[in-house]
Amino acid sequence: MTAIFSYVKDDIAFIAADTRRGILGLTGVATKVHHRWSEHILLAQTGAGAPMTELPCEMTVWRDRNPGLVTLQGLAGVFARLHSAHFQRASAQLRNGL
């Protein structure tokens, strides 16, 4: 289970997450807040490592090709376009034992 915490008040905001990752009884350390959408927008990640990392990585490719997408609305639009296919692919990988 991943714990992600965020706080926003006036012009101050932060996001934090635990660093524990456990898969099939093995545990390790993972960075779960490591995707930067823009100067003011960070993304946190939950889920099974590599399959779930592919979504924010593809999203940043879209952002890099379309600089107008750095807004919150741009982030929401790119996520809406890409998340379903990534979720289906990640779910299939997990069902098949990665």
CB proximity list for 55: less than 8 A, separation 6 or greater: 79, 82, 83, 86, 90
Q: What angle do CA 83, 47, 65 make, to 5 degrees?
A: 40
Res 12 pLDDT > 70 = yes
Which pLDDT score, from 0 to 100, does residue 73 have?
93
Dihedral sign of CA atoms 90, 49, 34, 6 in order: positive
Res 19 pLDDT > 60 = yes
Please spell the DSSP secondary structure of 13-38, one letter per residue: EEEEE--EEEETTEEEE---EEEESS
Tens of pLDDT along 28-78? 777 777 778 888 887 877 765 666 678 888 899 999 999 899 998 999 999
Res 98 pLDDT > 60 = no
Which pLDDT score, from 0 to 100, does residue 49 have?
62
How far is C-alpha 83 from the geometric centre of its chain's CA atoms?
Answer: 10
Res 25 pLDDT > 90 = no
How far is C-alpha 18 from the geometric centre of its chain's CA atoms?
Answer: 14
The total of structural domains in the chain comes to: 1
Which pLDDT score, from 0 to 100, does residue 61 have?
93
pTM score of the predicted model: 0.65
What is the span of the domain harbouring residue 68? Answer: 4-95
